[in-house]
Amino acid sequence: MSDDFLFAEEPEQVESTNHGSWKILIVDDEPEVHAVTKLALSDFSFQGKNLAFFSAYSGAEAKQLIAEHPDAAIMLLDVVMETDDAGLLVASYIREQLHNEHVRIILRTGQPGQAPERQVIINYDINDYKSKTELTAQKLFTVIMSSLRSYRDILSLEQSRLGLEKIINASADLFSSHSMEQFIDGVLQQLTSILGCDENALLVSSSMVAGNISGDVSDPHKLVVFAGQGEFERQEGKPVQEVLAPELLDAFETALKSRGIVYRDNYLVAYCTSKFTHGSLLYISGLPGAITANQKKLIELFSQNVQIAYENVQLQHEIEDTQREIVYRLSEAVEHRSIETGNHVKRVAFICYELGKAYGLPEEEAERLMFAAPLHDVGKVGIPDGILNKPAKLQGQEWEVMKTHASIGYEILKNSKRSIIQAGAVIAQDHHEKWDGSGYPAGKQGEQIHIYGRIAALADVYDALRHRRCYKSAWSLEQVLAHIEAEAGKQFDPKLVEIFKSRVDKLEAILQKYPDSED
């Protein structure tokens, strides 16, 4: 195209609406300006994308248009339309009311004297100011190209900011499963931003943390999705065979066998080194062009280090799971000593969790209660077998000895620095206290009894009554409900009794899921 002035005549209008294009908003009250602008930029391309044009013919239309297309890259904005300052009001609206800092605003005017350039640049957050008479085809090409580069860089910085924000937010609680997923997602976002590619990224692993519920990590080819972006969002836990196309699976297999990085077309698959497992694979698509040496070094560093953080979380989870299993097994050992079979401590734990959540405990506290509840009767290790397993009703001094198990349990657990064990000490001490103050060992009443103790007391009695013991047969659900309701305000917290009644179907399901061996 020649370098003639663009607005000297009225050429035929040409549209460009390619999917994935850069959005250009043309705001001008002269239809020929729209037509000529589209014609002059009809063959424009930047980073493999052409331009998609959207038109408005007044300031009011422009405000509606930018609200509908907040992802627009550039607005070519006429100053004088229905009023002498219509374009300036649109610029103010975009920045100050919509808070859209991304779109590049290029003012164009046929009457530069009415809005002096210096004053406009100072007073309005615009990015360029051009007189229509000076805007040749070449100058229009230049200003669009430079503006798109600025817009691209702004988006890249924004993606980096969002990625860093995710990483910073995750770092406060890095070793929880949720935060680790957020951390990996943030790192993926950082890497895709730095490489200048699109948002399709994927991290897969053979690790149990990634969701390999089969438990078989001996086969490195049994990979599942751990984190995903773009088209892979919300695919976590799925086998890669369900997520990836055959050609991608082939690239994954090549990277896994070579333990290296595979570059193909516009995507890469990188093997993430591991000392303990078969490692992970990172997939990123939409690479804008040839990968530079610096970018390759960045990918190598990432693939070497991301698995370290990943496996640190695995180890942390393994420690936590081991601690919880020890609590369960020791508690079950106490129950076996008292000739009570199977899953009593497990049922009480899950019942406590359900009641705790319904009572309004935060998730963290409800989980702590669940993991500590199995320790409620640990003090029975100090009770003689003759009393502990007596099939008949305990008499006088025998009963006094049995009651000491609450204090014994508290003394065993009280000096621990672990939150779960501390909670277990509270439960052991308070789970035989009664709402009306007639319980033991301290005769506490009402809310003097720790909420953990109140919940564990109800859970323990409910489960004990619903199952056979050496001194009684199992009660029916109707009998248990009648007894617990009668004890509201006496043995049990009345509020908890109402919660119990409203959740009894869920609690019965727990009993069905974890029966004793003879049930």
Q: Are residues 179 and 148 in the same domain?
A: no
In a domain, 158, yes or no: no
* 18: pLDDT strictly greater than 80: no
Distance from chain centroid for Cα 231: 17
Whichever domain contains 463, its CATH number is 1.10.3210.10
pLDDT (0 to 100) of residue 331: 65
Q: How confident is the model at residue 307 (pLDDT cuts 50, 70, 90)?
A: low
pLDDT (0 to 100) of residue 8: 41
pLDDT in tens, 462-479: 999 998 876 678 899 999
pLDDT (0 to 100) of residue 504: 94
pLDDT in tens, 342-371: 588 889 999 999 999 999 999 989 999 998
Cis before 11? omega within 30 = no
Percent pLDDT > 70 in the chain is 76
Could you say which of 357, 380, 434, 444 is catalytic? 380
Whichever domain contains 90, its CATH number is 3.40.50.2300
Q: Is 137 exposed, middle or buried (0-12, 13-18, 19+ CB in 10 A)?
A: middle
* 518: pLDDT strictly greater than 60: no
pLDDT (0 to 100) of residue 478: 95
Total domains present in the chain: 3
Residue 380 among the catalytic residues: yes
Are 365 and 423 within 8 A, CB to CB?
A: no
Return the half-sphere exposure (C-beta side, CA atoms, 13 A cut-off) of residue 6. Answer: 24
pLDDT (0 to 100) of residue 4: 46
* 313: pLDDT strictly greater than 70: no
Q: Where are the alpha helices (DSSP H) in 338-404?
A: 344-359, 363-372, 385-388, 396-403
The secondary element (H helix, E strand) that includes residue 224 is strand 224-229
Q: Are residues 21 and 104 in the same domain?
A: yes
Q: Which residue has the tokens 């006094």?
A: 400
What is the C-alpha separation between 250 and 116, in angstroms, rounded?
A: 61
Angle at 13 between CA 8 and CA 15, to 5 degrees: 135
What is the C-alpha separation between 144 and 24, in angstroms, rounded?
A: 9
Kindly compute the dihedral angle of the four CA atoms of residues 324, 440, 484, 511, in this order, to the nearest 10 degrees.
20
- Domain around 236: 173-305
pLDDT in tens, 137-163: 888 999 999 999 999 989 888 877 776
What is the C-alpha separation between 446 and 297, in angstroms, rounded?
A: 64
- Most confident range (mean pLDDT) of 3-7, 96-100, 241-245, 284-288 is 96-100
- Most confident range (mean pLDDT) of 20-24, 62-66, 268-272, 378-382 is 62-66
In a domain, 221, yes or no: yes
Q: How confident is the model at residue 213 (pLDDT cuts 50, 70, 90)?
A: very low
Q: Are residues 64 and 131 in the same domain?
A: yes
Q: Are residues 136 and 190 in the same domain?
A: no
pLDDT in tens, 105-116: 998 887 655 556
Residues in the chain: 519
